Amino acid sequence: MLSTTRRGFLAGTGGVFAAGLASASVAQPAEARPRAPRNIVLILADDLGVSEIGPYGQQIIATPNLDRMAAQGVRFRNAFAGSSLCAPSRCSLLTGLHTGHGTVRENPEGGPQRALNPGDLTFAEVARLAGYRTALIGKWGFGPEQPDQDSHPNVRGYDEFYGYITHIHAHQYWPTYLWHNREMVAFDGATYSPDFLRDRAVKFIDESAKDGKPFLLQFATILPHSPSEIPGDAGQYADKPWTKANRRHAAQVTRLDAHVGDILRALRQAGVADDTIVIFTADNGPHHEKGVDPNIFNSNGPYRGVKRQLYDGGIRIPMIAYNPSFSPKVVEDPVALWDILPTVADIAGLPAPAHLDGRSFRGLLTGDRYAGHPFLIWNRPRKMQAIRRGHWKLIRFNPNIAGAGPEGRNELYDLRGDRGERHNVADRHPKLVEELNALLDGSIGPDPRIPYGLSAREEAGGVVVSLANGSSGPWTKVRLYLDKDDDKSVGQERLVKAESFVATFPKKGRVAHARFVVDGEEIHFRTKVQKAPF
């Protein structure tokens, strides 16, 4: 007996929600869309200042691979982190929400790290719906350190995980253990983890190329986060008249650059470079911890501030995208880490989840149309918030934060002639300050997402399959089926925004499928059937 129903349902593999403003790019008819690269490699550096690499003006630290990547690819001049520190920035990256809406809005302070929850949809889950093989190699950054919990990478969309679960554990360059999927693997404390994890990333590329399926790799290295640890001494920087910490920090950045070169080489050798978009970026501005002095390297370039601050030096990041088909260019349009999820959906050919704060920037890579952000916001609860609209930027300090006094403080900067944010002009523009504060207040609130995706679970001898339309437009000619039995599908003509289609199949299966049409293009979701608990 097969039954169907229409009501809100947790969506995605394991039950996921999606959120935010709709993507700027919509699906095109299949005949109008030229063949484009589908594999995605995201290389995420940890605490790398915007000007610590050559393409952004670095003069002391050598980064030849990133120099070539930028010269031959797309360099974003105005790319921004999700936050000025690790956990909230990575949450923003994963979920497409800025820190006014995301689940994790601050690093832990004297308590446990806040985790992702069943309502979070990551870009890896989106890619997996499209049939991608997915991997996270390196730092996850959310707890707890347990194999079976809603915030584990394997639950949040990654088929393969090797690395650190919590960001505290990721401070260890010579670990005594790492996690491989849901198992803790013992290490001897003598293995330099960035090199080991680089090797795992290369292995994933080789395996995926042989498999033939599209793949998404997130290589989340811990370089160059403190402490400044590196095998041997500081290599080419060993004779520099700096402290040990600074010499080794420079060596860490150059080693990071070498790892970028290794990944690009692996793509070429595996024969998938032409079909892969590589994006290099970082999670926040430069650190000044354990003896590292970012002033030596001009790590934040002409911008004020470092990690933990909402001045541009704390939130501006490098971002470079490369594919052999891209025309070399520099992009001035502001983009942010919360744009990654809708961009992944766009590259994968899927309708973007609705109510995301992010916008797809695929058009900036390929020369297609692009609709930018009306403004960008950052939120550090109980501390400070910031908003950038056009050439104006407002930073609002909470009472008694950063010397703000009991009434708090507003700082307003005209970035046209003050990119270093040195001249606070808030007193000259009280109406603008009031207007930007109102925009900030309206942008900070509860998670706005609605269900999106496909889920399937065994139940009472059969399988319950749920498809949730969490995008902005209707899905038509909807069909659900198990395994390869598309001739035994269950259909519905139309599924509108925020509506779910649920079907119960009277047999077990391994993979559930959904096919539907958006703007004339057929979309295909797949997800593994979750087994019934014992």
Please check whether residues 259 and 214 belong to one and the same domain.
yes
Domain with 282, as residue range(s), is 39-369
Residue 147 CB neighbours (<10 A) = 13
Write the CA distances from 247 to 229, 233, 252, 293, integer angstroms: 10, 9, 9, 10
- SS3 letters across 254-287: HHHHHHHHHHHHHHHHCCCHHHEEEEEEECCCCC
Q: How far is Cα 454 from Cα 125, in angstroms, rounded to an integer? A: 10
Kindly state whether residue 127 falls inside one of the protein's structural domains.
yes
Kindly state whether residue 248 falls inside one of the protein's structural domains.
yes
Please check whether residues 349 and 471 belong to one and the same domain.
no
Please check whether residues 458 and 434 belong to one and the same domain.
no
pLDDT of 142 reads 92
Cross-strand partners of 378:
386
Residues 323 and 441 sit within 8 Å (Cβ to Cβ) = no
Please check whether residues 134 and 210 belong to one and the same domain.
yes
Q: How far is Cα 335 from Cα 332, in angstroms, rounded to an integer? A: 9
Our count of domains for the chain comes to: 3
Please check whether residues 76 and 217 belong to one and the same domain.
yes
Kindly state whether residue 415 falls inside one of the protein's structural domains.
yes
Please check whether residues 337 and 387 belong to one and the same domain.
no
Write the CA distances from 485 to 3, 252, 297, 479, 488, integer angstroms: 17, 52, 60, 11, 5
Query: pLDDT truncated to tens, each residue of the chain (534 aa)?
Result: 343 333 332 333 333 323 222 233 333 444 444 457 999 999 999 999 999 999 999 999 999 999 999 999 999 999 999 999 999 999 999 999 999 999 999 887 766 778 999 999 999 999 999 999 999 999 999 989 999 889 999 999 999 999 999 999 999 999 999 999 999 999 999 999 999 999 999 999 999 999 999 999 999 999 999 999 999 889 999 999 999 999 999 999 999 999 999 999 999 999 999 999 999 999 999 999 999 999 999 999 999 999 999 999 999 999 999 999 999 999 999 999 999 999 999 999 999 999 999 999 999 999 988 889 999 999 999 999 999 999 999 999 999 888 888 889 999 999 999 999 999 999 999 999 999 999 999 999 999 999 999 999 999 889 999 999 999 999 999 999 999 988 889 999 999 999 999 999 998 899 999 999 999 999 999 999 998 775
- Amino acid letter at 506? P
Kindly state whether residue 14 falls inside one of the protein's structural domains.
no
Residue 10 buriedness (CB in 10 A; 0-12 / 13-18 / 19+): middle
pLDDT of 33 reads 44
Please check whether residues 353 and 428 belong to one and the same domain.
no
pLDDT of 223 reads 98
Residue 429 CB neighbours (<10 A) = 15
| 380 backbone dihedrals φ, ψ, rounded to 5° | -110, 100
Please check whether residues 257 and 357 belong to one and the same domain.
yes
pLDDT of 110 reads 65
Which of 342, 369, 396 finishes a domain? 369
Residue 503: which CATH number? 2.60.40
pLDDT of 534 reads 53
Q: How far is Cα 424 from Cα 106, in angstroms, rounded to an integer? A: 26
Kindly state whether residue 18 falls inside one of the protein's structural domains.
no
Which stretches of 306-358 are DSSP H helices? 312-315, 340-348
Residues 268 and 386 sit within 8 Å (Cβ to Cβ) = no
Q: How far is Cα 137 from Cα 256, in angstroms, rounded to an integer? A: 14
Please check whether residues 200 and 254 belong to one and the same domain.
yes
Residue 419: which CATH number? 3.30.1120.10
Which stretches of 349-472 are DSSP H helices? 362-366, 430-443
Please check whether residues 336 and 242 belong to one and the same domain.
yes
Residue with tokens 């400070």: 384
Which of 442, 468, 490 finishes a domain? 442
Which of 304, 339, 369 finishes a domain? 369
Kindly state whether residue 9 falls inside one of the protein's structural domains.
no
For Cα atoms 222, 50, 398, give the angle at the middle one, nearest 5 degrees: 90
Which contiguous run of DSSP H or E holds residue 89? Answer: helix 86-95
Residue with tokens 């403004």: 375
Kindly state whether residue 28 falls inside one of the protein's structural domains.
no
Please check whether residues 113 and 81 belong to one and the same domain.
yes
pLDDT of 111 reads 67
Q: Is residue 440 classed as helix, strand or coil in its secondary structure? A: helix
pLDDT of 4 reads 38
Q: Which of 178, 138, 146 is nearest to 41 (CA)?
A: 138
Residues 182 and 153 sit within 8 Å (Cβ to Cβ) = no
Please check whether residues 216 and 343 belong to one and the same domain.
yes
- How many Cα atoms sit within 13 Å of 279 on the Cβ side? 31
Kindly state whether residue 13 falls inside one of the protein's structural domains.
no
Residues 115 and 142 sit within 8 Å (Cβ to Cβ) = yes
Q: How far is Cα 356 from Cα 344, in angstroms, rounded to an integer? A: 13
The whole-angstrom distance between residue 338's C-alpha and the CA centroid of its chain comes to 7
Q: How far is Cα 521 from Cα 158, in angstroms, rounded to an integer? A: 27
Q: How far is Cα 471 from Cα 449, in angstroms, rounded to an integer? A: 10
